Structure 1
Amino acid sequence: MGASIRARRCRRWPAAQNLAVCTFTAERCRIQSWSGFEVTDCAHELAEQIRAAETSGRPLRIRGGDTRSFLRCDASCDTEVLDVRPHQGVIAFEPAELVLTARGGTPLEEIESTLAEARQCLPFDPPRFAPGSTLGGAVASGLAGPSRPWHGSVRDAVLGVTLLDGRAASGHFGGQVMKNVAGYDVARLNAGAMGALGVLLDISLRVAPVPEQRMTRVLEVGLAEARARMTALARRPLPITGLAWEAGRLRVRLAGSEVGVAAAVAAVGGDACEENDSYWNDLRDVTLAFFAGEGPLWRLSLPVTAPQPDLAANWLLDWGGAQRWCRTDAPAETVLTAAKALGGHAMRQRPTPARSPLPPAMAGLQARIKAVFDPGGILNPGVLYPDLL
């Protein structure tokens, strides 16, 4: 493996059909080549469409793989689609420095393939809700997998971004190293913003080595005992990368050196898990049997030490108890109030999005930030909250 990969060949997407979308394709975009690889640069075409939307006042819905649209609170908003998929490709990968830079429209599969060649991975392990997920969508949604409490959030991995704002102005924030550089906070601010502040043209990320060994242990325990055990295990110096409880089974994922994992197995106890990686992948992608069906599905973010909400519900606990999935027919206001009372917040993912309202001070701050980057309110209006342009 060479010291660096300066670019990676990418696919070229045709224009989407039967939608009000941008009319350009990768064929119109500038092709950059290094060492025989190609990266498409469609920043100019994307800026043209934003400029036209700003003039007409018609809002834009930023779209990549369209695998996270169920998270949006603006499904009924009349918008034109801004398709970023033609703007794709790995720009630079420095395995020795654990840094990768890629276009926002690059498929996650391509990112992971590039990293796998150097036995590296994305530390936040983003969900793949469906084929076609893009890097920009993964960062913009801000969602991380089961290893988040130990490997960090999406925001923790973002080193820098090139952002195309609501005035069609391009700016670079942050860099390619983890230090206090100008714009670093702005780069991280876009993790979880759902594109409300601009189009993520390019993203630099901190990546991580793939562990030498992974193993999952299973303990048969009830919910109360599982919560106590998760708290106790999280306090110990063990190579834990996953703690989840469902239907009477506590799963503990261990990852690290062969010697370290073997020692941790002796400390954790339990039985070997036949599913191993498949269970954690299905948990990450929200495809376990627990998530199936048409009934309401809630995701609660709570302090690990918070007691269980007083709700008639079926539960699945992830992140050592900090993320609690809930199947309940309780009214939305009841769930939102229960989460707030315990110092957390809640989001309903099905059948329609609903989330805890922002405190007035926080709502005002978000509105002011939005006005700086998108004064016309044309980029993904209402995507996070219906009343936030």
Structure 2
Amino acid sequence: MTELHHIVERVRAAAADATPLCIRGGGTKDFYGEAPQGELLDTTALAGITSYEPSELVVTVRAGTPLAELEAALAEQGQCLPFEPPRFDGNGNGTVGGMVAAGLSGPARASVGAVRDYVLGATLINGRAEVVTFGGQVMKNVAGYDVSRVLAGSLGTLGVIAEVSLKVLPVAPAEATLAFACNQADALRLLNEWGGRPLPLNASCWAEDAGVGMLHLRLRGAVAAVEAACAHLGGKRHDNTRAAADWLSLRDQQRAWFSTSDGIDALWRLSVPQTAPVLALDGVAPLIEWHGGQRWYKAPADQSARIRDIARAAGGHATLFRVPGANARSQVPRFDALSAPIERIHRALMREFDPQGIFNRGRLLAAT
């Protein structure tokens, strides 16, 4: 029995008696979203790169493939996943299917796009135990509703991702990281000012260290463009090797700033317009990414109402991203409430793909 057939039969049996299944690959994102429910359905046997055409900038890979394995294969050809999916364990033991299902992107997201922008096609096992394929291996074949991209961020609630085709890009020929000492307000002002200029901006990060605010800016692109931008912007230029390690630790949330081991403060992720001003949240100064669009805060989970009110007032939303403690499960909803029309669409999609509600029940939306 092949790995795919085994999973199909497992899904068929679960659908017959409405047994909930908890889809899991590397388990590196178990903390994200609501508590996993149901019997474990391990996808790691669905591993391997099935097709890779470097000249076409397309790779097709089975969902249980470790992210580190895919990134190593791309690096050999001078290519990459430009959206820099966070790995959290720092080792790339998470899987490609989990990367798509979580829909999380790293430091470069504001400049290059999100996970969903690079998903060309997908093969899915739905709640009827049917193996269905959406999209393909080129951008132009998308017609009608782009189901393959809907999978990004669905947290496994639509089915078991078996295989995905992804667009990849060449590694930029040049890179530089500049540092600027400034407070939060000045950092946001500078980022908005630079965003209106033809600069090869790729990623940014502002945070305080010992009370001193520091903005780091990463430039990527053609050699001439990067060097011209460095000369124009000024700032302190960092050694590329050191800077690469710092950006990697930011991507994987391995920096000390992200620690929630004190048992009090949770990690909150606020998604707001890049032009939003400094938010009136007390406590530890935030860590700001995506040219102002993603802001991380540390605050107790029970401050949910206030934090979400502030995020909404700024035109965004807040996610309770991580709660301290290895097994901590807060009663506070992890995700902000959806508007009634959007929630109806979400639930209708779930019912269509998974009529018995067996996949990752309650992980994304509260079960009803």
TM-score after normalising by structure 2:
0.91
Task: Verify: 1:272 aligned to 2:237, yes or no.
Answer: yes
Q: CA deviation at 1:100?
A: 0.4
For residue 298 of structure 1, what is the aligned residue in structure 2?
268
Q: CA deviation at 1:341?
A: 1.6
Pick aligned residue for 1:365 from 342, 345, 353: 345
Alignment of 1:316-331 (within 5 A): 316-329=287-300, 331=303
Q: CA deviation at 1:183?
A: 6.3
Does the 8 A contact of 1:89 with 1:106 survive in 2? yes
For residue 223 of structure 2, what is the aligned residue in structure 1?
258
Q: Structure 1 CA distance, aligned partners of 2:290 and 2:313?
A: 20
Q: Which has the higher contact order (CA 8 A, sep 6+)?
A: 2
Q: Structure 1 CA distance, aligned partners of 2:278 and 2:126?
A: 41
For residue 192 of structure 2, what is the aligned residue in structure 1?
231
Matching residue's letter, 1:179: K
Which range is displaced more, 264-273 or 245-254?
A: 264-273
Matched residue of 1:334: which SS? helix
For residue 205 of structure 1, what is the aligned residue in structure 2?
166
For residue 71 of structure 2, what is the aligned residue in structure 1?
112
Task: Verify: 1:65 aligned to 2:26, yes or no.
Answer: yes
Task: Verify: 1:125 aligned to 2:95, yes or no.
Answer: no
Q: Structure 2 CA distance, aligned partners of 1:203 and 1:315?
A: 35
Task: Verify: 1:169 aligned to 2:145, yes or no.
Answer: no
For residue 347 of structure 1, what is the aligned residue in structure 2?
319
Q: Structure 2 CA distance, aligned partners of 1:157 and 1:184?
A: 16
Deviations 1:10-34 (A, max 9, x none): xxxxxxxxxxxxxxxxxx53xxxxx
Pick aligned residue for 1:244 from 205, 210, 217: 205
For residue 20 of structure 1, what is the aligned residue in structure 2?
none
Does the 8 A contact of 1:140 with 1:194 survive in 2? yes
TM-score after normalising by structure 1:
0.86
Task: Verify: 1:307 aligned to 2:277, yes or no.
Answer: yes
- Off by >4 Å, runs of 4+ in structure 1: none
For residue 326 of structure 2, what is the aligned residue in structure 1?
none
Does the 8 A contact of 1:105 with 1:136 survive in 2? yes
Matched residue of 1:224: which SS? helix
Structure 2 stretches lacking a partner, 5+ long = 324-329
For residue 40 of structure 2, what is the aligned residue in structure 1?
81
Matched residue of 2:286: which SS? strand
Q: CA deviation at 1:186?
A: 0.3
Q: Structure 2 CA distance, aligned partners of 1:250 and 1:267?
A: 16
Alignment of 1:15-164 (within 5 A): 28-29=1-2, 42-75=3-36, 77=37, 79-130=38-89, 131=91, 132-164=93-125
Q: CA deviation at 1:381?
A: 0.7
Q: CA RMSD in A?
A: 1.4
Matching residue's letter, 2:352: V
Q: CA deviation at 1:184?
A: 6.1
Matched residue of 2:139: which SS? coil
Does the 8 A contact of 1:175 with 1:184 survive in 2? no
Which range is displaced more, 271-280 or 247-256?
A: 271-280
Matching residue's letter, 1:277: A
Matched residue of 1:93: which SS? strand
Does the 8 A contact of 2:33 with 2:335 survive in 1? no
Q: Structure 1 CA distance, aligned partners of 2:268 and 2:122?
A: 31
Q: CA deviation at 1:293?
A: 3.0
Matching residue's letter, 2:297: C
Q: Structure 1 CA distance, aligned partners of 2:270 and 2:43?
A: 31
Pick aligned residue for 1:289 from 253, 256, 278: 256
Deviations 1:126-159 (A, max 9, x none): 0011241100000110000111111111010000
Matching residue's letter, 1:262: E
For residue 15 of structure 1, what is the aligned residue in structure 2?
none
Structure 1 stretches lacking a partner, 5+ long = 1-27, 30-41
Matching residue's letter, 1:288: R
